Every structure is written in structure tokens, then in C-alpha cells.
A and B are shown apart, each in its own frame.
Chain A
Amino acid sequence: MKEFSFFSPGTLDEALSLLSQHKDSVSVIAGGTDIVLELNERAHTAQAVVDISKIKDLRYVKVVDGVVRIGALSTFTDLENDPYIRDHVKSLYSACYYVGSPQIRNLGTIGGNVANASVAGDTPTALISLDATVVLRSAAGKREMKITDFYSGAGKTQLEKDELLTEIYFDAPTENMATAYTKLGKRKALVIVVIGLAVLLERDCNNICSKAQVVIGAVARYPKRLPSIEHYLVGKPITKETFEGCRDMFSQIVYDMIPTRASVGYKKESVKGVANKTFNSILKDFSLSGGEE
């Protein structure tokens, strides 16, 4: 482990001022489930480490005027145990539930999961399907952007060294919406995602799909919206048959994303099963036949 200065600010203002002072070489630690590994493996070279875990104001889940606001320091366990998230934002609930193990979920934060931008992050996939917005603060001010834009940088996020991701928010799913997230891994816990699929669907009063947001994770470098699937779904009745009609599209999409990767053979087949599980969960949420029993 290389030497570094360690700071543990108690307030957001203090943290932002530390980040601007040390912005040439600084890392932020929250739950530490990613960064401590990097420190131990000597991969980490920042001269200053700012521990934000004592900033209690950044740990909350609230619904205000139809918008769900999540403080960046909320842990996966916080979200998993939040009754609103569990009952109304199933995709995010599942994404949190399937992270690592209880110990990791007790420490790991949603802000860290988003900001760390691991190819295998679970919550970013769900958050993109919810069309979430991230709030970034620095001593100089505040900016907001869609999480899809946040990930649009070449290999990195849009987060500047003096900025802190403080909040993630998205429109609360309405009564006419259902969400789901499926994680395919090599075992049931403590496992890195092989494919993550998050879906948000909206239906009108005739059970016709009026909005679809479909995101695949762990295939490309960042989770990706799938416009062709979304386009296919909108305007069609929400039925098992409709969903079955796009299974082969998923397969082709995965193949096109990673045609030369050794895992492509498995991923392009198994994605069909992942899509099935995800759509079954949607059907069940809409209380339609064909959903999981």
C-alpha cells in the first residue's frame, strides 16, 4: 500500500473544500468495498483519500412531489430494506438485493456503485432504465445530468476530481408502470454479474405498451439502452407473445456488441433466458397471465 493523506470530513462543505484543495490527486472513499481492494493491490496512487462516510446528510431515500431522491451514501442494505423501493421500484430493489453478500451490501453505497462505473455494477443498469439523473457538487457549484450522459465519457465518467456525486433521482414509477431487474451470475451470491437486464414498461388503459426503457449491463463497457427493443415494444400489447417476439433480437444485440469475445456464445444464448425472467416479472407485476407463479 502506498502512503496517502486521509481526511474524514463531517460535512458536505468540508468534503467539497478538501476535494478542491487536493484535486490533483484525490480519491473518495464511501463504503470502501471497491477502493480498499485497489489500495491493497497497490493499484491506487492518489496522494489524498477523502472518506465521506461520516456525512450523514447524504444518506436518505425520500419521495417528494413524484420524484424519488436517493442520497449517494445510502447503502444497498438501506435500499433493500426501504419499503417504498421494495414495493414500487422493483428493478432497483433487485439490483441492490443481488449485490455481493450481506456484508458488502451493509457497506457498499449506491453513489459508489454509480461513480465507480465498474463494468459489472448492478445498480447503474437499473438506474439507467429508470432514466435517473445524478447530482454532482463541487465547491464551485452544482450540476445535474442524466446518468446516461454521466457514462458517456471515453472510458470514464463525467465526474471531475473536485466533484462529489451527492444524489440520484428519478421519477417515481406510476401505477401504470412495472420495473424489473434480472442478474445472471455463476452462482447465487458473491458473484460478478454475467448479464444484467433492467426494464421499465408503461401501459395505457388498453394494456398497450406506451413506454419502454430497456437496459443491458455487463456486456458492453457501460450499461446500454436498447432502442431497437424499446421501439419494438412500444405500441404492442403487453403479453407473453409480444415478449417472446423479441427474444431473438436480444440474442442478435448481444452478438453485435461483443462478436469476438470468448463468452459471446454463452451470453447470446443465455440472454434469452434472462429476458424471459425479466418480462415474466413484469407480467406478474401487471397481474397478467404468463408471469412467474
Chain B
Amino acid sequence: MKKRGRGVASMWYGIGNTGLPNPAAAFIEVLSDTSVNLMVGCADIGQGSTTAMAQIAAEELGLDYEDIHVTSADTMVTPEGGATSASRQTLISGNATKLAARQAKGTLAEVASGFLNVPEEDLIFRNREIYSCKDNSVRMTYKELMAEMKKHGRLAVGAGAYNPKTTYLDPQTMAGIPYEVYSYATTIAEVEVDTETGEVEVLKVVSAHDVGRSINDVMVEGQIEGGVVMGEGFAVFEKVEYSNGVIKNPIFSKYLIPTAMDAPDIYSVVVECEGECGAYGAKGVGEPALIPSIPAIAAAVEDAIGVHFTSLPITPTDVLRELDKQKER
């Protein structure tokens, strides 16, 4: 018989460790053809941080995404970026990128202010143009600005470094404020359990994540989808088998992760709110995407067959064993 169940799980997750120093930096230069070199230590391991850094630089400088050429994680030229871990890069390298862009923009604004005869604080940089917020007919293109820069022998360079305010934790109790900001999420999973074969099929997952400000919706959705499938693996497939301290299945034909055929229908919900300290309010979603999917699936299995599992993964063998015990009771 097939039994369906639903489970809900919520979480909050700290982004930007403050217990210890946690810095990252960026270098930037706007070139005379209005293209931009951005150098960040931030390593893109597939999550899309290089794209996000380019978007943040473009937003700050009033240029287009296509104008930004990013060199990332190349220790020959890029500054310290810290680890791509702890869901921190959008927050920390994102802020460093924004600060670097702002410094370069300071020089650009000085020159534009002289040319347009508009106070620096009234200048708006947007869509490859610079104009006055009081009268947008007073304007110049980025190309004109870069020509003007050249005339004055000015270079639009910037360096930015960001470190969340290090609060340190109490060495005895570890009490304190451990993170700069928190991400929040709720995941709902629907599963179908085959009570004859013990198979658990994850049918549908809805996962809603407060990311502060979404720098790139499609990438955030991708992160959520990846996290859900990874969570499915943790919940029902991935089992490390060992004996006498030796792992018996260190190979992907025996340590099973979900295939595309196993992935559920995933509905990613991106929630935006005041993100406080991040660039444009962006927080992080890397780990949050994974975490609540696991208890949501386990709770859905419990809802379906009335068994509360206390270890993962929940394999077909476990399901049949527990159903058998249930029958005996």
C-alpha cells in the first residue's frame, strides 16, 4: 500500500561569523572603455558568487553586468577572500566588492561633479550614465566621463575590505553574539511510502527562504533546488557503511545520492526583507537551502506511517523493519 504524508520544518541560520575575525577584500578598476576589472578572493565553487559580485559592482557603479570582468580566487592577483563556507560570501565578499566599487566611484564622482557642475552628493550613476538627481537633463555618458578622467590624469580604482564586527564569544560559556545576521526558512515536504517495499518517494517540496535581498533570483532558486535534493539524499539515500573504522562504500555506485529521476517537484519561494548589513541587504542561502529539507522529509515519513525515526537515512530496510515492529505492538 502507498501512504502519503506531509512534514514541515523551520530554521534560522547565522550568516557571517563574529566570534572570530572574518574578513574579505576586493580590488576594482573602471577602465577607459568603461569596462571594469574586479578582483575578488571569493572562490566560486558553483554557487554563482562570481555572477553575484559582478552584479553588485555593476549596481554600485551604474554600469551593466556585462561591463564587469571578474577575476576570482587567483592568489596571484586577488586579495584575501576567506573560505567559501558558512554561507558567508554574498554577505562578506559582497560588501567588500561594494566598498571597492564605492571608492572608485568617489573619484568618478569628483570628476563628474566638476564637468556637470553638480554637487557630488546629487549625482546618480545608472544605466551607463551619470546625471543630477535634481535635473536629469544635466547628464553625461560613462564614455564621456572616462574621457574626462583621462584628460585629468585620474584613475578610477578602489579597494574594499569587509569584516563583520568581531564580538568574540565568552571563552568559558561560548555565550555572545555569534553571527552578524540570520537567514530564515520553512520547508514543507510531501512523501509517499510504499509499505510493501519500504521505498520512500519524495514527491513535492516547497521551500521558502528569507534571503534579505535576492541578488539573482534564478541563482537563489537554483541554490534552494540543490539544497532540497541534497537534503533528500541525506534523508533517504546517503548511508556511510563502515566496519572496524573502514568505510565499506567509498564509491558512488554504492554510496547513493539522488539522481534527476529521484528529485521531487520543487517549489522555491524567495522571500525578501530588510537584510540589514549585507550588500543591498543580501544575506546567504547556501546552507539554509539544505537544512530544513531533511527534518521536513523525516516528518513527512512519520506523518505517512506513524514511525518516528531517530537516525538517517531512512532506508527501505528501516521502513519495513519499523512497520513490522508496529504490527507486533
Taking CB as reference atom, which chain A residue is nearest B321?
A265
Bound complex: CA of A191 vs CA of B252, how far in Å? 10
Cα distance, A163 to B195, chains bound together (Å)? 46
**A213–B244 CA distance with the chains assembled, in angstroms:** 45
Contact A273 B256 (CB under 8 A): no
Choose the segment among B127-135, B159-167, B259-267, B299-307 that binds chain A (4+ C-beta atoms closer than 8 Å).
B259-267
Which residues does chain A contribute within 8 Å of B316, judged by CB atoms? 186, 266, 270
Please tell me if A261 contacts chain B, counting CB pairs below 8 Å. no
Closest Cβ of chain A: how far from B215's Cβ, in Å? 34
Q: Count of A residues near B, CB < 8 Å?
A: 17
Taking CB atoms, residues of chain B closer than 8 Å to A189 are 259-262
State whether the Cβ of A29 lies closer than 8 Å to any Cβ in chain B.
no
* Contact of A192 with B198 in the complex, beta carbons under 8 Å: no
Measured CB to CB, the nearest residue on chain A to B252 is A190
Least CB distance from A258 to B in Å reads: 15
B262, chain A: closest CB distance, angstroms: 5
User: Between A and B, how many residue pairs show CB distances below 8 Å?
Assistant: 46
Interface assignment of A42: CB less than 8 Å from any CB of chain B: no
Q: Which residues of A contact B198 (CB under 8 A)?
A: 266, 269-270
- Given contacts A266-B316, A270-B196, A273-B194, A187 and B324 within 8 Å (CB-CB): no
Output the nearest chain A residue to B197 by Cβ-Cβ distance.
A273
Given A186-B237, A265-B317, A266-B317, do A191 and B256 touch, yes or no (CB 8 Å)? yes
A186-B196 contact given A265-B317, A269-B324, A270-B316, CB 8 Å threshold: no
Complex alpha-carbon distance, A271 and B60, angstroms? 62
Interface size on B, residues (CB 8 A): 20
CB contacts (< 8 Å) of B256 on chain A: these are: 186-187, 191
Q: Tell me the smallest distance from the CB of B232 to a CB of chain A, in Å.
A: 10
Q: Which residues of A contact B194 (CB under 8 A)?
A: 273
Q: Which residues of A contact B324 (CB under 8 A)?
A: 269
A272 with B196: CB separation less than 8 A: yes
Indicate if the CB atoms of B261 and A184 lie closer than 8 Å.
no
Question: Per-position contact with B for A240-271: 1 when CB-CB < 8 Å, else 0?
Answer: 00000000000000000000000001100110
Q: How far is the CA of A270 from the CA of B194 in the complex (A)?
A: 10
Residues 156-211 of B at the A interface (beta carbon under 8 Å):
194-199
- Asked whether, in the complex, the Cβ of A184 is within 8 Å of the Cβ of B197, the reply is yes
Smallest CB gap from B253: residue in A: A192
Contact with A along B306-323 (1 / 0, CB 8 A): 000000000111001100
Residue among A188, A265, A276 with the most chain B CB within 10 A? A188
B258 within 8 A of A: yes
Residues of B near A270 (CB, < 8 A) are 196-198, 316, 320
Closest chain-A Cβ to B298's Cβ sits at a distance in Å of 18
- Residue A282 interfacial (CB < 8 Å): no
- Option from B197, B259, B317 in Cβ contact (under 8 Å) with A187: B259
Q: Which 9 A-B pairs have the closest CB atoms?
A: A273-B196, A273-B197, A188-B261, A189-B261, A266-B317, A270-B197, A189-B259, A269-B320, A188-B262
Report B's interface with A, CB cutoff 8 A: 194-199, 237, 253, 256, 258-262, 315-317, 320-321, 324
Binding site for B on A (CB under 8 A): 101, 184, 186-192, 265-266, 269-270, 272-274, 276
A sample of 23 inter-chain contacts (CB < 8 A) reads: A101-B259, A186-B256, A186-B316, A187-B256, A187-B259, A187-B261, A188-B262, A189-B260, A189-B262, A191-B256, A265-B321, A266-B198, A266-B316, A266-B317, A266-B320, A269-B198, A269-B324, A270-B196, A270-B197, A270-B198, A270-B320, A273-B195, A273-B196
Q: A184-B197, A186-B256 are in contact. List 12 more A-B contacts (CB 8 A).
A: A101-B259, A187-B261, A189-B259, A192-B253, A265-B320, A266-B198, A269-B320, A270-B196, A270-B197, A270-B316, A273-B195, A273-B197
